[in-house]
Structure 1
Amino acid sequence: MTIAHPPIPGTALWVHAHLRGSSLNGRLFREGVRALSEHRDVTTSDLYAQGFDPVLGPRDFAAHDRADGAVQDGAGEPGNIAGLLGEAYARGRLPADVVREQAKLAAAELLVLQFPLWWYGPPAILKGWFDRVLTAGFAHGDLDPASGAPRRYGDGGLAGRRALVVVTAGEDARSIGPRGISGDLESLLFPLTHGVLWYVGIETLDLHVVHDADALGAEGVEHEVQRLRERLRTVDTEPALPFRRLRDGDYRGTRALRADLLPGRTDLGIHLRPPS
């Protein structure tokens, strides 16, 4: 199976996951889209506003036409969930809401994911968007023709794209920093930046974090709006996080980093290439 979704240059998809339009996140969403639209063609997915259903269910699985013309939902079919979703994608049987989201993502050169940090991760609605939209056959699951290995971690169906993660946190930079009681935010979001985005080939930029989001006054909100606008003006020239690619041999013969690379270290930073 070959996956090819070349993005359209100059396009962006902004995925927003907050339920209140009057919130700080709502303000940042509107101002950010306006700023990014000054130099890109921006499409949005405001997940709460559009009523996106995050629950992966039988309707998402491969459907089969029966001899009597009826359609089964595939929920009782053997095989793992990824395989069933891949079959549904191949047959053109994915639900209409998923197909719309996949079309927006396939066209986008830049992906912006914006959300508040809830229980040290994204809201459930965004996790469900990943579950339902990043299906096998669309975002992953094809093989490298040269090696026969799966294309993932820096390669795959959505390679050629970059992502900016915009996250608001109620804590300050110390409590959610490298020595903070809440853990380092970059480590907390490693499952997103590396395990989701990098897995399907999307390069990730440095996080854009709004700290103390619950305590900002009017002046603080305006400062954060302007800071986001400034970030978006330079986003095209920023370097991406230098995660190691699976295909480059650093994990040769295993899914663990080779023993001769950074021996003795077990932190998540080992998956970043050192400066040359």
Structure 2
Amino acid sequence: MQVLWLTAHPGPRSLNGSLYREGVRFLEERGHAVRTSDLYAMDWNPVVTAQDFSRAAPGENDDRLVVGSAAEEAVRRGTLAPDITAEHDKLAWADTLIVQFPLWWYGMPAILKGWFDRVFVRGFAFGIHDSQGRQLRYGEGALAGKRAMVVVSAGAREASLGERGINGSLNDLLFPLQHGTLWYAGIDVVPPLLIHGADRMDGAAYATHTDSLRRRLESLPHTRPLPFRRQNGGDYDENLILRAELAPATATGLAVHYRTEAPDFPPGAT
């Protein structure tokens, strides 16, 4: 594999920092090539601004910033900010993306959200069309053929991030990232790895979690991805509404966007 390991934690001596170093070491020892983006160590700027795009050509009206079209034009012209271009080069090189972070208020740390805001821009990660003018997204598109795994730590107990847990199921919490960002750009997403009980971990628990990480990394090239439905696979109508025959009329929510013919990975799997 050619792996880009993307991580976001402010403490190098943290649990996340330790697991990050262990994971990279494990992959390299097994002959995989690894590049990294440690966002806090890089002092990554998470804020989208007009300067990301060097956007106006001579004579163009640059009073109003339309981020999507400005980004697409900057990709075409080669005028994106150098830090964004460097991340694009890493993503283009990689066939596998590891996204590692602590779960803060049910989502990613702001610095990581800002990485996706600035790096997954139109013209690079999405905005691709087929010969019929259909937009290629949700399983197709610019980053199709790559795969990703989310490694997320949480202070919560494992069961509380399950189907009936008070925190909600892990895959529901990660749906905006796994489905709405990675799958949207065409990336196959394998089931996430949860590092639970992160705030009260002893040596034995740490050994268990590092072993789980190693096993997941070892099997990553062969792990079946989450069975998300493709936008252009016939499951959705012209308004991108799931066809009635594929789920009961009463079925709503995130679970309907998983193919039921792949039962090994239910929506709430952790």
TM range (shorter): over 0.9
Q: Which amino acid aligns with 1:21?
A: P
Q: Do residues 148 (structure 1) and 133 (structure 2) align?
A: yes
Q: CA deviation at 1:75?
A: 5.7
Cross-structure match for 1:105: 91
Cross-structure match for 1:180: 165
Report the TM-score, using the length of structure 2 for normalisation. Answer: 0.92
More helix by share: 2
Deviations 1:27-46 (A, max 9, x none): 00000011112231100000
Q: Which amino acid aligns with 2:121?
A: T
CA contact (8 A) 2:125 2:185 kept: yes
Judge which range, 153-162 or 176-185, deviates more: 176-185
Runs of 4+ with deviation above 3 angstroms = none
Q: Which amino acid aligns with 1:240?
A: P
Q: CA deviation at 1:110?
A: 0.5
Measured in 1, the distance between the counterparts of 2:187 and 2:130 equals 17
Q: Which amino acid aligns with 2:175?
A: F
Measured in 1, the distance between the counterparts of 2:97 and 2:63 equals 35
CA contact (8 A) 2:54 2:81 kept: no
Equivalent of residue 127 in structure 1, options 90, 113, 120: 113
Q: Over the residues paired in the alignment, what is the CA RMSD in angstroms?
A: 1.5
Cross-structure match for 2:21: 30
Unaligned segments of structure 2, at least 5 residues: 263-270
The verdict on how the C-alpha distance between 1:259 and 1:45 changes in structure 2, with shifts beyond 3 A counting, is same
Deviations 1:34-91 (A, max 9, x none): 1112231100000000111011112123523437xxxx9x86236x311111111111
**Secondary structure of 1:164's aligned partner:** strand
Q: Do residues 82 (structure 1) and 68 (structure 2) align?
A: yes
CA contact (8 A) 2:56 2:62 kept: no
Equivalent of residue 19 in structure 1, options 10, 29, 40: 10
When the two structures are aligned, how many residues end up with a matched partner? 260
Measured in 2, the distance between the counterparts of 1:99 and 1:183 equals 36
Measured in 2, the distance between the counterparts of 1:20 and 1:46 equals 11
Q: Which amino acid aligns with 1:207?
A: P
**Secondary structure of 1:49's aligned partner:** helix
The verdict on how the C-alpha distance between 1:16 and 1:193 changes in structure 2, with shifts beyond 3 A counting, is same
Deviations 1:245-270 (A, max 9, x none): 11111112111111222022002111
Q: CA deviation at 1:211?
A: 0.7
Equivalent of residue 139 in structure 1, options 104, 125, 132: 125
Measured in 2, the distance between the counterparts of 1:75 and 1:187 equals 40
Cross-structure match for 1:55: 47
Q: Which amino acid aligns with 2:116?
A: F
Cross-structure match for 1:225: 210
Q: CA deviation at 1:117?
A: 0.1
Measured in 2, the distance between the counterparts of 1:16 and 1:101 equals 13
Q: CA deviation at 1:140?
A: 0.7
**Secondary structure of 1:64's aligned partner:** coil
The verdict on how the C-alpha distance between 1:275 and 1:137 changes in structure 2, with shifts beyond 3 A counting, is same
Report the TM-score, using the length of structure 1 for normalisation. Answer: 0.90
Q: Which amino acid aligns with 2:76?
A: A
CA contact (8 A) 2:53 2:81 kept: no
Measured in 2, the distance between the counterparts of 1:249 and 1:65 equals 41
Measured in 2, the distance between the counterparts of 1:104 and 1:75 equals 30
Measured in 2, the distance between the counterparts of 1:174 and 1:238 equals 23
